[in-house]
Chains A and B, each alone.
Chain A
Amino acid sequence: MIDTDALPGPEWLPGLSADFDPQNRLDGKSAAGATFWVPQLTDTESVTVAEAVRTAALAARRTHRAADVVVAAARAAGRLADRDDPYGRAALDALQAATGCSRTGAAELLERNAAGWTASVLSALIRSEFGELAVLDQPRPDPAQPGRRRRAAGPPVVHLVLAGNVPGVAVTAVIRSLVVRSGVLCKLPSAEPWLVGLFARALHEEDPALAATMAATWWPASVPGPVAHEWTKRSGKVIVYGGPDAVRALRARTPPAIPLVEYGPRLGAVILGPDTTEAELDGLARDTCAYDQAGCVSPRLVYLLGMRSDAEVDALLDRLGRALGAESARLAPVFTTDEEAVDIRAARARYQFDATDGARALGPADLAWTLLFRARAAAYSEPLPRVLWVYGIAGLEELGRLRGVLEGRLQALGVAGLPDTDRRQAEELAVELGVSRVTPPGAMAWPPADWRHDGRMQLLPLVRWTDLETAKQD
């Protein structure tokens, strides 16, 4: 049992006096039921924090180059994945307590995320979208228009709302706003509230001036309170990771002049052709067990392409089941909430009782993983941990007929064992459906840093451009 009292509070609130003594507190509960609390900020305190972050962010533009921010943020974030660092150990404890995952799973999550937090990866990401880092520091000549210079910068302050995200992505999202030179007012996710605060503390040790450009706290979505109101209206952009309810609530309280950048929930699908290898099934199992399918890139739907006999289907499901069993054992048991357990049993029951379309359900009694198969094209699935909804389809055109359901909702498509013609057709279909990644199974759960999340650039939506033109010479 992790002692969450030993962790620092999730909040990071620069600008408040050293003897700040909150009158009230807000109590929260993480995804796995770990309890935490943060100070309940008054109107005045909310404004004080927001103004302090704004002042610090504008000051940092004068004292730091983008390259400096990259280096400091990378150093601080890297400490979260270093098991020999106190922040690394705290991050492991926090992830385990908050999400119920195993130590192995928490370590893997941190290491995989940290791959996107290094200075070289962050610099490469900036270059891939802006061409150079310096354009975030000062106006740069526009090669397409002699005499014109351009500068990109995020608003002095952005409001980052983390209502639904894979653990670890919260830190990534904060870093991305920092490197485009924005101060960040972050609403933490209750599912995993600690990592951002740990990052802020590590950043404070690396570069206190930069740590002062971010603030983070939590409040219940149902009772936003003054801090939500003040932070929203003092931000140049609002960035939200979350479902329709979170987005709707934010829209309602965000003044129309403030742009909203949304990263909504989606799901992953996989097409397994007749030549799918055992290694690819192992890869699919890894993608499925990684952070228990909480990601928009996580596979949930699996389509078995081509007419297969019952025996072939059984063999494939059996092999995939063994791979899921092995991966579940490696990562230690899945954490399942009571609600999820009830839903998994209900889903299994529907397949175990109703034999229509060759239905079958595989999975151990402890709910460590579940495979649900029917021999027909469908898109029905439920977001349950380590559960794959497998459908048999005769041809890709059957998948095309599901475009009304899948279009705009599929984030990643795994493709394996397809002949070239089918593979090209699957890729075309992916483009048509708005899929942002087509990959082999095994690479779905961990997209590269420069992946076009939701089909968009990662940094460009966060900035505003300023063109500096000179008078034309006749």
Chain B
Amino acid sequence: MDETCRTPVSEAHATLAARFEAAFADWNTDPRAWPDNLFEARALEAFALQFEANQPYHRYCRAIGRTPDDVTTWRDIPPAPTAAFRAVELIVGDPSDAVLRFRTSGTTAGAAARGTHLVRRPETYRAALLGPFRHAVLDGRRRGRILLLHPPFAPTRESSLAWMFDTVLEELGAPGSSRLDPSAGETDGAGATPAGVAALEAAAAAGEPLTILGTTLALADWLVRLAAAGMRIELSRGSRVMDTGGAKGREGLERDPAIGGLLERLGLPAEAAINEFGMTELLSQRYAAGLGRLALRGPPWLRTRVLDPVSLEERPEGEEGILCHYDLANVGSVVAVLTADRGRAVGDAVEWLGRTPGATPRGCSLATAELLEAQR
């Protein structure tokens, strides 16, 4: 793409993204400030831009015969399967214009098949992230004392989650907030006290609620260390433990015992558990409080349809299908993303039921894994 056509795309995207960010900000201030018809209008605007300026997506839409002329509701916007993020760089304009580059973990398809999500404007991600986080995790407070169990964002790791956590810590963390990098060691200094205990004790002593953030894996490992050291600390009311990511294939790990065990050690009720559902391919998140089956809710600029995997027809509420997300924060890439996640609609929320496993070969047909093994 040459300079002459780059500028208009950049401008078009910047203008649209700024309007979206303003709308997100309005909702953050007053959730009633989001009119019912706003999502539809903004989604169609985003699709029109992405059809014109996201080359691989344009090619896809052409291949399946969809153009802005025949897409009249947000439900008609052709979703990009998550596999597309593994095949190409999906961005409005030129990939070199990306400011952030996030890579998926490769949990499902292996490290060689990691997907990439390019972000033109970190401001959009920030605007989509902070308000809903405040509402769902900080009880609407502007800032809170945070203990983050996650390594900082590094361009080499390209983790969307690390960037999100850093942003939350930086912009919403109150004095006394700290980070515990799980890779940096298991104890505080030379002693046998598990790392992070000092932050727990300080928050308890100050009588301030503490919000603990981490992946389900990191929190489960931390629980093991706290339990081994016999640590029990009574945190103040209003404290939260927010986990994300699930077991990521670790055998035997289940969220409820891990997070529930941590809550119990910190003197917190089950409602203090917050689960965050996010994907590298999406810049907005959903949240739910508690343990067990959770109805995940997101901001009004993130909608999710539950579809029949074969026909892609929408399934009635309560029936299981695959999740297709429509995220206005993805204005710089693709708004509609078809996942391999199974779930069901519960009112205006979504229950996540797990990832669809790869198909099992029928009969005596050779599995792909065996072919790939031969190629190594």
Could you tell me which A residues sit within 8 Å of B by CB distance? 31, 164-167, 169, 191, 241-244, 263-267, 291-296, 298, 300, 336-343, 345-350, 352-355, 360-361, 365-367, 379-385, 404-405, 409
What CA separation (Å) do A361 and B64 show in the bound complex? 10
What CA separation (Å) do A292 and B360 show in the bound complex? 14
Asked if B175 is an interface residue, CB under 8 A from chain A, the answer is no
Could you tell me which B residues sit within 8 Å of A by CB distance? 56-57, 59-60, 63-64, 80-84, 86-88, 90, 309-312, 322, 338, 340, 342, 356-368, 370-372, 374-375
Task: Pick from A295, A345, A366, A385: contact of B364, CB below 8 A.
Answer: A295
Q: What would 13 A/B residue contacts be, using CB atoms closer than 8 Å?
A: A164-B363, A164-B364, A293-B365, A343-B358, A347-B83, A349-B87, A350-B84, A355-B59, A382-B359, A383-B361, A383-B366, A405-B375, A409-B374
Which residues in B have their C-beta under 8 angstroms from that of A382? 359, 368
Which residues in A have their C-beta under 8 angstroms from that of B83? 345-347, 349-350
Distance (whole angstroms) from the CB of B163 to the closest CB of chain A: 24
Residue contact B60 to A352, C-beta cutoff 8 Å: yes
Distance (whole angstroms) from the CB of A172 to the closest CB of chain B: 12
Distance (whole angstroms) from the CB of A224 to the closest CB of chain B: 19
Query: In the complex, which of the residues A300, A346, A349, A405 has the most CB atoms of chain B within 10 Å of its own CB atom?
Result: A349
What CA separation (Å) do A253 and B361 show in the bound complex? 24
Residue contact B363 to A291, C-beta cutoff 8 Å: yes
Residue contact B310 to A338, C-beta cutoff 8 Å: yes
Distance (whole angstroms) from the CB of B107 to the closest CB of chain A: 15
Task: Pick from B56, B342, B374: contact of A405, CB below 8 A.
Answer: B374
Q: With A354-B56, A366-B310 as given contacts, are A265 and B64 in contact (CB-CB < 8 Å)?
A: no
Q: With A263-B364, A353-B87, A354-B87 as given contacts, are A340 and B359 in contact (CB-CB < 8 Å)?
A: yes
Residue contact B365 to A265, C-beta cutoff 8 Å: yes
Which residues in B have their C-beta under 8 angstroms from that of A295? 363-365
What CA separation (Å) do A337 and B63 show in the bound complex? 24
What CA separation (Å) do A123 and B359 show in the bound complex? 39
What CA separation (Å) do A171 and B322 show in the bound complex? 37
What CA separation (Å) do A244 and B310 show in the bound complex? 29
Which residues in B have their C-beta under 8 angstroms from that of A385? 362
Which residues in B have their C-beta under 8 angstroms from that of A164? 361, 363-364
B63 to A, closest residue via Cβ:
A352
A382 to B, closest residue via Cβ:
B368
Q: With A337-B359, A354-B87 as given contacts, are A296 and B311 in contact (CB-CB < 8 Å)?
A: no
**Top 3 A-B pairs, shortest CB-CB distance:** A294-B363, A346-B83, A294-B362
Residue contact B81 to A349, C-beta cutoff 8 Å: yes
A245 to B, closest residue via Cβ:
B367
Query: In the complex, which of the residues B310, B340, B358 has the most CB atoms of chain A within 10 Å of its own CB atom?
Result: B310
Which residues in B have their C-beta under 8 angstroms from that of A296? 363-366
Task: Pick from B56, B81, B360, B367: contact of A345, CB below 8 A.
Answer: B81
Which residues in B have their C-beta under 8 angstroms from that of A165? 363-364
Which residues in A have their C-beta under 8 angstroms from that of B361? 164, 243, 265, 383
Residue contact A383 to B368, C-beta cutoff 8 Å: yes
Distance (whole angstroms) from the CB of A282 to the closest CB of chain B: 22
Residue contact A352 to B64, C-beta cutoff 8 Å: yes
What CA separation (Å) do A404 and B373 show in the bound complex? 11
Which residues in B have their C-beta under 8 angstroms from that of A337? 359
What CA separation (Å) do A112 and B272 show in the bound complex? 63
Which residues in A have their C-beta under 8 angstroms from that of B360? 339
Residue contact A166 to B375, C-beta cutoff 8 Å: no
